């Protein structure tokens, strides 16, 4: 927690030193009516991948599609940078995002590490205006049973620093970790991930308890299908 406060503070100092320089994003964090949902990787870019599980591009897309639906069910407008297995350059993702008038940008990824024991959720931001949203998503994901909160961090990823309004990137667990890889391959678990991300966004925008979980979500109980065999 201390690190989050320090990194936020240092960004506010950096912001004041910039003195309103054009690189600072517009603060739509309290007003946005559109969420740009960005599924990481796609097409020739598989992202993180291990032989015994689905590639990052497939599980990131699946979670993103679920987040997209939940946000639309909550009366937010959405734009997806991709909704199938296609390669989209990073700058195109940024362009799609920056074409929206009053939006935030949420990028969905899964993580990778050479150390198979590393696990947990991480959320990244660049604009100081995006910190609270990043923290809200990280905090909400960390309410999933057995989850590990690896914190909120700043990063200079292109989809964070080139957006003209608040942008966050969510790492939904490590595909290099056997346990999180198995969970990522489970549709019910991906539904829970999407639910936590959507809940954090909706409650951040409209206030605590604004999010209404769908009846289908409440009725679900274990044993969902795995990711499509085509992605194995
Ligand atoms: Zn990724």
Each residue of 75-113: pLDDT tens digit? 999 999 999 999 999 999 999 999 999 999 999 999 999
Distance 112 CA to ligand 1 centre (A): 8
**Dihedral Cα 171, 173, 174, 177, nearest 10 deg:** 170
Geometric angle at alpha carbon 15, from 24 and 19, rounded to 5°: 85
Q: What percent of the chain has a predicted confidence (pLDDT) above 90?
A: 77
Reply yes or no on whether the pLDDT at 211 is more than 80: yes
Distance 205 CA to ligand 1 centre (A): 26
Query: What is residue 219's predicted lDDT score, i.e. its pLDDT?
Result: 60
Gap from CA of 2 to ligand 1 centroid (Å): 26
100 CA distance to ligand 1 middle (Å): 23
pLDDT of residue 205: 96
- Cα of 47 vs centre of ligand 1, distance in Å, is 5
Pure H helices in the chain = 2-18, 56-73, 90-98, 131-141, 158-161, 178-184, 187-206, 215-219
| Mean of pLDDT values over 139-162 | 96
Nearest one of 158, 47, 166 to 102, comparing CA atoms: 166
For residues 186-190, average pLDDT:
98
User: Is the pLDDT confidence value at 229 over 80?
Assistant: no
* Cα 176 to ligand 1 centroid, rounded to whole Å: 12
What's this model's pTM, rounded to 2 decimal places? 0.85
Amino acid 145: pLDDT: 95
What the chain holds in terms of domains, given with CATH numbers, is 2-220 (3.40.630.40)
- Buried b or exposed e, range 50-70, using 16+ CB within 10 angstroms: beebbbbbbbbbbbbbbbbeb
Residue 172 and residue 109 in contact, taking contact as beta carbons nearer than 8 Å: yes
d(CA 34, CA 20): 24
Work out the angle at residue 73's Cα, subtended by the Cα atoms of residues 71 and 79, and round it to the nearest 5 degrees.
45
pLDDT at position 153 over 70: yes
Q: How far is the CA of 209 from the centre of ligand 1 (A)?
A: 30
Cα–ligand 1 centroid distance for 94 (angstroms): 15
Q: Region 39-63: what's the mean pLDDT? A: 96
Which residues, 6+ apart, have CB-to-CB distance to 81 below 8 Å? Answer: 36, 37, 38, 39, 88, 92, 93, 96, 97
């Amino acid at each position: 927690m201390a690190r989050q406060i320090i990194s936020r503070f240092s960004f506010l100092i950096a912001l004041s030193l910039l003195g309103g320089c054009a690189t600072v994003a517009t603060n739509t964090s309290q007003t946005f009516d559109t969420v740009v949902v960005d599924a990481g990787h796609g097409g020739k870019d598989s992202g993180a991948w291990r032989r015994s599980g689905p590639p990052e591009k497939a599980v990131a897309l699946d979670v993103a599609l679920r987040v997209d639906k939940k946000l639309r069910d909550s009366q937010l407008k959405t734009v997806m940078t991709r909704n199938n297995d296609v390669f989209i350059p990073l700058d195109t993702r940024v362009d799609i995002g920056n074409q929206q008038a009053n939006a935030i940008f949420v990028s969905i990824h899964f993580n990778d590490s050479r150390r198979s024991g590393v696990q947990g959720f991480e959320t990244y931001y660049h604009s100081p205006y995006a910190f609270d949203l990043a923290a809200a998503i990280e905090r909400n994901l960390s309410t999933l049973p057995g989850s590990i909160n690896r914190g909120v961090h700043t990063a200079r990823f292109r989809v964070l620093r080139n957006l003209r309004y608040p942008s966050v990137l969510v790492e939904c667990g490590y595909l290099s970790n056997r346990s999180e890889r198995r969970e990522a391959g489970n549709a019910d678990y991906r539904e829970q991930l999407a639910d936590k991300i959507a809940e954090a966004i909706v409650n951040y925008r409209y206030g605590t308890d604004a999010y209404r979980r769908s009846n289908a979500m409440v009725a679900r109980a274990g044993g969902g299908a795995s990711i499509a065999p085509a992605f194995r």
